[in-house]
Structure 1
């Protein structure tokens, strides 16, 4: 990974903002401020997805249950445009929360799963710097100093829970990974990859001066777990470009090693 590390370090040089990065390929790793705590933005939706499937496994959540759309909120997503007569399954809400980062779906899931249960699951997964303290688009909570947080290393832990291990059943892991693979926001880590050649399951996050992405990337039997978190950015467009170029360096590394 030495050549990959050098290329990524070159990308980060001169970036006006704070960076946190964690990349693991097999037994090799590359970390920059990997335990730094960042505003999670929509990355918090990944551990919520995991908790949704966990509760489904123990019978607390019926993913096939039909629910009406309530408490429409703005920001990302499509449910804010749906009528209150519309009905979707809980699995539909999980899917929309990830694939189009739907805030209304996320808030409905937080209500159904329970904020306390979600936060408790973070500890069970081994997350050390992740907390859900508010719903999506809750600006009053932000004014009161309440926000959601995570770290690059915690996001890698979430990716591993979805792709391997025994925290979830194999069926749940496959379903969660499939949902993440249908991510519609692909302008960051996968942005410069040939997605016909490489499998990517990712989740982005954005706020004012904040750009994140985390991904499971699989090519030719090799798996990369990557999380790149940026905040305090003077130029979020440059931040997105940097994340895309980091993804391209990972992709090139795959091709060179195969």
Structure 2
């Protein structure tokens, strides 16, 4: 049997070669890792600069855009300025009515800018309405129109009575409408008007007698604030028949008080009221800067003509204020 001889020298050579190959593989791996790390580091460093520049530019842009904040103190100052403007008008009104008040008369005034809802009033209280009560009769009639039309002697009678009551302040037309509101009973009709006023919060308004009837037991009352509220609501189409009432007021033939204080080309809608010692007027003025209301009520007059002149002068001053 042959004996195998093992060549130890050849084994050593192969072992050395193997060790060299392992060393080469390890060296190649280490160099590869180093190259990849270096490449990643260089890329990251290269991309970091644009990001930094972008952030710096964003900060610069934020600094360039001014941010306007309204501090609470500034808001309060603006509110005070608005109030001061109304106070200024209030003071002008007081100066104009002072000569009439000096005779022992009482004068009440309400003014409102219908666009901004800014308003001011002087001496508001319940006063004799005279024919201003007809505004509330009209409001009640339009709210009860189906019942009114059932009682018409001819088609369109109710609208005709309303037209006469508002445009020429016809007293008999007003009384006929009130009776129809009560189905022939004047007291029930007046209560219907009062119920209308309560439901719409015209708190100073009350109908206690027919037009031209004695006022020794009761009378008709309203206030400039209630009249201002009524005008605001028909202008805003809040009440039933608002557009029709406003249209009738624009056809008003008695325009010698508030409407006489504004230029002839300015549209107005008003309703007057007079007694022997009372001169009233309530109007919407459609000025070039927007609509506004003026309501004036007087009582205990010794000179009605002076009162009418005062109302016209006051109207002119309010117009200059509202439409400078």
Alpha-carbon spacing, 1:225–1:65, altered in 2? closer, same or farther (3 Å): same
Q: Give yes or no for contact 1:63–1:89 (8 Å, CA) kept in 2.
A: no
Which structure is higher in strand share? 1
- Residue 247 of structure 2 corresponds to residue 178 of structure 1: yes
Aligned to 1:60: 147
Q: How far does residue 225 in structure 1 lie from its aligned partner after superposition?
A: 1.6
Q: Say which SS state the counterpart of residue 98 (structure 1) adopts.
A: helix
Matches of 1:221 and 1:177, distance apart in 2: 19
Matches of 1:108 and 1:206, distance apart in 2: 20
What is the TM-score normalised by the length of structure 2?
0.66
Q: Which runs of 5+ in 2 are unaligned?
A: 1-84, 182-188
Q: Give yes or no for contact 2:134–2:166 (8 Å, CA) kept in 1.
A: yes
Q: Say which SS state the counterpart of residue 111 (structure 1) adopts.
A: helix
Q: How far does residue 173 in structure 1 lie from its aligned partner after superposition?
A: 1.5
Matches of 1:5 and 1:120, distance apart in 2: 33
Which of these two proteins has the greater Rg computed from alpha carbons? 2
Aligned to 2:128: 39
Aligned to 1:117: 192
Q: Which runs of 5+ in 1 are unaligned?
A: 68-86
Q: Say which SS state the counterpart of residue 5 (structure 1) adopts.
A: helix
2:221 to 145, 149, 166: 149
Matches of 1:157 and 1:225, distance apart in 2: 10
What is the TM-score normalised by the length of structure 1?
0.82
The structure showing larger relative contact order (alpha-carbon pairs under 8 Å, at least 6 residues apart) is 1
Q: How far does residue 5 in structure 1 lie from its aligned partner after superposition?
A: 3.1
Which structure is higher in helix share? 2
Once the two structures are superposed, residues 190-237 of structure 1 have per-residue CA deviations (whole angstroms, 9 ceiling, x without a partner) of 1132231x2211001010211100011112251212210000111111
Q: How far does residue 64 in structure 1 lie from its aligned partner after superposition?
A: 10
Matches of 1:63 and 1:106, distance apart in 2: 18
Q: Give yes or no for contact 1:21–1:152 (8 Å, CA) kept in 2.
A: yes
Aligned to 2:275: 207
Q: How far does residue 176 in structure 1 lie from its aligned partner after superposition?
A: 0.9
Q: Give yes or no for contact 2:151–2:180 (8 Å, CA) kept in 1.
A: no
- Residue 157 of structure 2 corresponds to residue 89 of structure 1: yes
Task: Return structure 1 stretches of 4+ with deviation > 6 angstroms.
Answer: none
Q: How far does residue 63 in structure 1 lie from its aligned partner after superposition?
A: 9.1
Aligned to 2:106: 18
Aligned to 2:119: 29
Matches of 1:209 and 1:43, distance apart in 2: 15
Q: Give yes or no for contact 1:131–1:149 (8 Å, CA) kept in 2.
A: yes
- Residue 295 of structure 2 corresponds to residue 220 of structure 1: no
Q: Say which SS state the counterpart of residue 52 (structure 1) adopts.
A: helix
Q: Give yes or no for contact 1:50–1:162 (8 Å, CA) kept in 2.
A: no
Number of equivalences: 227
